[in-house]
């Protein structure tokens, strides 16, 4: 896994919200690790740049019902 | 309701009920709004209205389409009564003049009085002071005096035909008033007509024709080409265009695809689309517009309060004056009949109605017509305030300009300009900042998409608040942002002052591997009609100011293009200071109107004497502003001011017309001019004159729309 993306997300309230996002990302069926901080609204996803793009991840988060405020890539 | 005094009576009587907090009645729209506590018994209210001699319907449950139908039958009934009573009155006249048979006269008039005299009779015994009271007193005094003559003095000439004609002409006047009022209301009812009844509900891929009233949120319906959208919704499949002119006044069709919002009442053009419903019948955007306009029409202009005051004392004053007339004539001629006829003429000719209608009629016609053109005015008070405005403040972005910044130029610092190089840098910039949501990033991204450039995934990306973005693309370090970002990165670079004067706009500088290579110049295009609007406002003798948060270069350039002089431009103004600027102008005794996009200039809008918000696109959330301009159509701003001035002028004409009428005709009916010109009026002619006078006010009010500012 060569890439790490930090998403700042609006409107997460609790663990339920975090699970929704995790579920959507898991459905992408790619190798990844995900870390959600409900309090700060930060979602960190590590993944392979060959397997997936930022737009795909953004779409999955949108499908879970959340709006991405900003993205950071490392 | 027959005249403005009626609305006053209803207001005061309803307020006496326990649990009623407020009551506003509009005579010209025939609508009333009451606030009451929860335990209030509505039946009590309806029985009170009935007792007062009116009919009331609960507006919260009605189907607006039926409304216009029932109006139609009302009018037919009015026409029928007017015609029947005219025939009866003419027959009475025939018996009076040709056959000289008093008994037949009495019978015919009695039929007429029994058939149509009821509302007038009620007006008298309930001690109302409105137009019907005057008509009733005139008609019944002639009628009973004639009966008295018939029984006790058979050789005298009775005056049955007078009584008959007073009622007949008053009914005829009532019919014409209704007709004109219906025409006046037609703007508003054309909004109602946009609501449709059936739609094709989709269940298991089958279309089922379903009444719109039974549709629920999240139901999916299919709309075929040429059909109207019955409710607000979101397109779930298919593509088409929609004509939203009824909401925004904008004649251009809007493209609709999956995910687009569609609005009830707008017209689907060439494609079939499925939409998921997002509103109920009563929460659609269009019904909010209708509610807004109806509420606005209940708000009285200050000028109306004077008229209302006069109307309140009008009827008692006329009654006293008519008694005086009788006494003076009796003292002078010693003839009861002549004195009585003059007294009746005075009572009948006096018309509080014209006076009461003068203001609300013009306001109603004006606001309804404006709403049809996408200009929502929140009340008569705003129209009056609008007519006094002498200073206009524009918040530049989103009003004079489109509010959608576009990349207009790419400046290269070290290489000679070529299209290939510009495209290369554009692709690099767009790839690096594709995850930034800043509006300037969006305009660079849009331009790249327009040029079909292929974007690459950045390896690293970080947004730096207030500066720009830092990214890494193909092992290169990319910096994109304002001049402060470049300075903070310790680049060796120099931007000549010449650069800033040659290129006016917002700047996004780009450095690749610590070397400044290019600058993207982004400008917000000026709206096409902006220059014309500024000129039109100047023609209306309104002083135009421009405020903006942008830098002075941009502000002065836009100002020069629009013909706003530099001393009327304030650049670099923060949202909070916009409000201070409005107060500063007001402290110089200026009447200030403020136009903004309603998002970041709310405090300044709140300070202004008249605030106007531009809603862009088809987003018609009705703002807290006094005036909302739908579809971002700038010309509507001019329409508002010319409309306010025109409306207030027509109101003044109406007030003059009705005052002159009353001041001239009442003495005429009293016989004041008799000694000089041998001029008097019979009560029947007086009744006809009165009917014409209120009609003239209504017709004059309709002129509000005649010279509406042409929308280009």
Interval B654-665: pLDDT, tens = 888 888 888 888
Q: How confident is the model at residue B430 (pLDDT cuts 50, 70, 90)?
A: very high
Q: How far apart are CA B154 and CA B142, in angstroms?
A: 16
Q: How far apart are CA B74 and CA B166, in angstroms?
A: 21
Interface check for A72 against chain B (CB to CB < 8 A): the answer is: yes
CATH of domain B4-63: 3.30.70.100
8 A C-beta contact, residue B558 and residue B445: no
> Is the per-residue pLDDT at B64 higher than 60?
no
| Active site amino acids of B | 395
Give, in order, the Cα–Cα distances in Å from B387 to each of B72, B186, B369, B644.
35, 25, 17, 5
Q: Indicate yes or no: CB of B463 within 8 angstroms of CB of A72.
A: yes
Q: How confident is the model at residue B183 (pLDDT cuts 50, 70, 90)?
A: low
Q: How confident is the model at residue B68 (pLDDT cuts 50, 70, 90)?
A: very low
8 A C-beta contact, residue B228 and residue B267: yes
Half-sphere exposure for B336 (CA within 13 Å, toward CB): 10
Interface check for B462 against chain A (CB to CB < 8 A): the answer is: yes
**In chain B, pLDDT over 90 holds for what percent of residues?**
11
Pairing type for strands B31-36 and B20-26 reads antiparallel
Q: Can you tell me which residue has the tokens 């508002």? A: B640
**What is this structure's pTM?**
0.66
pLDDT at B180: 64
> Is the per-residue pLDDT at B12 higher than 80?
no
Tokens, residue B12: 């005061």
Most confident of A21-35, B213-227, B248-262: A21-35
- The more confidently predicted of residues B465 and B703 is B703
Most confident of B177-181, B195-199, B205-209, B241-245: B205-209
Give, in order, the Cα–Cα distances in Å from B238 to each of B218, B244, B256, B548.
17, 18, 8, 41
8 A C-beta contact, residue A1 and residue A46: yes
ipTM: 0.74
pLDDT at B63: 47
Q: How far apart are CA B175 and CA B76, in angstroms?
A: 9
CA dihedral B525, B527, B533, B538 (to 10 degrees): -10
- Widest Cα–Cα separation across chain A: 32
pLDDT in tens, B248-289: 655 567 788 888 888 887 888 888 889 998 887 777 777 777
Q: Give me the residue spans of the domains in chain B.
A: 4-63, 71-186+302-358+647-705, 196-280, 363-402+527-635, 406-523
Which among B457, B463, B471 is the nearest to A70, CB-wise?
Answer: B463
Burial class of residue B400 in the structure, from the number of CB atoms within 10 Å of its CB (0-12 exposed, 13-18 middle, 19+ buried): buried
The stretch B364-379 carries a mean pLDDT of 82
The stretch B338-352 carries a mean pLDDT of 80
CATH of domain B363-402+527-635: 3.40.50.1000
pLDDT in tens, B543-601: 999 988 777 888 888 899 899 989 999 988 876 788 889 999 999 999 999 998 755 67
Q: Indicate yes or no: CB of B462 within 8 angstroms of CB of A53.
A: no
The CATH number, out of the four listed (1.10.630.10, 3.30.420.40, 2.70.150.10, 3.30.70.20), of the domain defined by the range B196-280: 2.70.150.10
Interface check for A54 against chain B (CB to CB < 8 A): the answer is: yes
Which among B435, B437, B462 is the nearest to A54, CB-wise?
Answer: B435
The stretch B130-135 carries a mean pLDDT of 72
Q: How far apart are CA B683 and CA B660, in angstroms?
A: 20
Interface check for B463 against chain A (CB to CB < 8 A): the answer is: yes
CATH of domain B406-523: 3.40.1110.10
Interface check for B468 against chain A (CB to CB < 8 A): the answer is: no
Choose the weakest-confidence range: A25-34, B620-629, B692-701: B620-629
Most confident of B2-16, B239-253, B539-553, B677-691: B539-553
Within 8 A of A70 by CB-CB distance, chain B residues are 435-437, 463
Pairing type for strands B391-395 and B543-547 reads parallel
Within 8 A of B435 by CB-CB distance, chain A residues are 54, 58, 70-71, 73
3 state SS of B126: coil
pLDDT at B518: 92
Q: Indicate yes or no: CB of B461 within 8 angstroms of CB of A69.
A: no
Q: How confident is the model at residue B134 (pLDDT cuts 50, 70, 90)?
A: confident
Choose the weakest-confidence range: B123-127, B239-243, B399-403, B447-451: B123-127
Residue A52: closest C-alpha in chain B = B457
Question: Cα angle at B270 between B267 and B276, to 5 degrees?
Answer: 60
The stretch B437-446 carries a mean pLDDT of 85
Phi, psi at B302, each rounded to 5°: -55, -35
């Amino acid at each position: 896994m060569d890439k790490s993306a930090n998403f700042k997300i609006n409107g997460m309230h609790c663990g339920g919200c975090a699970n929704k996002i995790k579920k959507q990302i898991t459905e992408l069926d790619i190798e990844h690790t995900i870390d959600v901080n409900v309090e700060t609204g930060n979602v960190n996803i590590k993944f392979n740049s060959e397997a997936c793009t930022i737009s795909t991840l953004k779409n999955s988060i949108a499908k879970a019902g959340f709006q991405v405020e900003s993205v950071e890539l490392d | 309701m027959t005249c403005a005094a009626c609305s006053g009576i209803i207001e005061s009587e309803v307020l006496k009920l326990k649990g009623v907090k407020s009551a506003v009645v509009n005579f010209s729209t025939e609508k009333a709004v009451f606030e009451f506590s929860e335990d209030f018994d509505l039946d009590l209210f309806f029985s009170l209205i009935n007792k007062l001699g009116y009919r009331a319907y609960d507006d919260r449950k009605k189907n607006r389409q039926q409304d216009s139908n029932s109006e139609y039958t009302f009018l037919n009934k009015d026409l029928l009564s007017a015609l029947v009573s005219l025939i009866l009155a003419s027959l009475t006249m025939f018996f009076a003049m040709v056959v000289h048979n008093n008994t037949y006269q009495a019978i015919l008039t009695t039929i007429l009085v029994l058939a149509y005299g009821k509302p007038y009779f009620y007006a008298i015994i309930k001690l109302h002071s409105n137009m019907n009271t005057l008509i009733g007193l005139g008609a019944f005094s002639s009628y009973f005096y004639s009966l008295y003559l018939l029984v006790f003095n058979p050789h005298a000439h009775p005056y049955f035909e007078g009584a008959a004609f007073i009622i007949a002409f008053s009914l005829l006047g009532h019919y014409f008033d209704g007709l004109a009022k219906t025409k006046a209301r037609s703007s508003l009812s054309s909004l109602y007509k946009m609501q449709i009844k059936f739609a094709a509900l989709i269940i298991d891929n089958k279309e089922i024709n379903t009444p719109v009233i039974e549709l629920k949120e999240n139901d999916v319906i299919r709309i075929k080409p040429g059909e109207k959208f019955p409710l607000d919704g979101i397109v779930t499949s298919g593509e088409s265009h929609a004509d939203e002119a009824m909401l925004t006044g904008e004649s251009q069709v809007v493209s609709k695809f999956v995910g687009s919002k569609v609005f009830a009442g707008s017209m689907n053009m060439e494609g079939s689309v499925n939409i998921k419903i997002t509103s109920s019948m009563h929460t659609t955007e269009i019904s909010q517009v209708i509610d807004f306009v109806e509420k606005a029409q209940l708000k009285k202009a200050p000028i109306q309060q004077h008229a209302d005051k006069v109307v309140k004392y009008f009827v008692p004053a006329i009654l006293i004056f008519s008694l005086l007339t009788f006494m003076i004539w009796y003292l002078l001629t010693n003839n009861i009949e002549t004195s009585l006829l003059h007294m009746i003429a005075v009572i009948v000719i006096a018309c509080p109605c014209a006076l009461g209608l003068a203001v609300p009629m013009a306001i109603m016609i004006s606001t309804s017509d404006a709403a049809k053109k996408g200009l929502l005015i929140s009340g008569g008070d705003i129209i009056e305030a609008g007519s006094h405005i002498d200073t206009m403040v524009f918040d530049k972005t989103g009003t004079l300009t489109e509010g959608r910044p576009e990349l207009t130029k790419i400046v290269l610092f070290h290489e000679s300009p070529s299209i290939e190089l510009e495209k290369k840098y554009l692709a690099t910039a767009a790839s690096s900042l594709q995850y930034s949501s800043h509006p300037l990033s969006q305009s660079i991204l849009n331009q790249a998409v327009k040029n079909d450039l292929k974007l690459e995934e950045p390896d690293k990306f970080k947004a730096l608040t207030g500066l720009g973005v830092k990214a890494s693309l193909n092992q290169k370090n990319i910096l994109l942002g304002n001049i402060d970002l470049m300075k903070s990165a310790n680049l060796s670079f120099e931007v000549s002052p010449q650069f800033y004067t040659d290129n006016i706009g917002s700047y996004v500088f780009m450095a690749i591997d610590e070397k400044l290579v290019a600058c993207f110049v982004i400008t917000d295009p000026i709206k096409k009609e902006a220059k014309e609007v500024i000129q039109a406002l100047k023609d209306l003798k309104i002083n135009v100011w421009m405020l903006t948060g942008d830098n002075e270069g941009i502000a002065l350039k836009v100002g020069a293009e629009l013909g706003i002089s530099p001393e009327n431009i304030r650049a670099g103004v923060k949202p909070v200071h916009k409000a201070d600027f409005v107060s500063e102008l007001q402290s110089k005794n200026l009447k200030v109107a403020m136009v903004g996009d309603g998002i970041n200039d709310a405090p300044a809008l709140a300070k202004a004497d008249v605030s106007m918000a531009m809603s862009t696109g088809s987003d018609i959330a009705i703002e807290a502003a006094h005036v909302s301009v739908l579809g971002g159509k700038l010309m509507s701003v001019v329409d508002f001011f010319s409309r306010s001035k025109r409306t207030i002028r027509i109101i003044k004409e109406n007030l003059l017309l009705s005052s002159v009428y009353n001041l001239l005709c009442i003495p005429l009916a009293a016989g004041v001019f008799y000694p000089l010109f041998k001029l008097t009026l019979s009560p029947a002619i007086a009744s006809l004159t009165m009917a014409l006078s209120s009609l003239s006010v209504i017709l004059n009010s309709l002129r509000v729309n005649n010279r509406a500012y042409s929308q280009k």
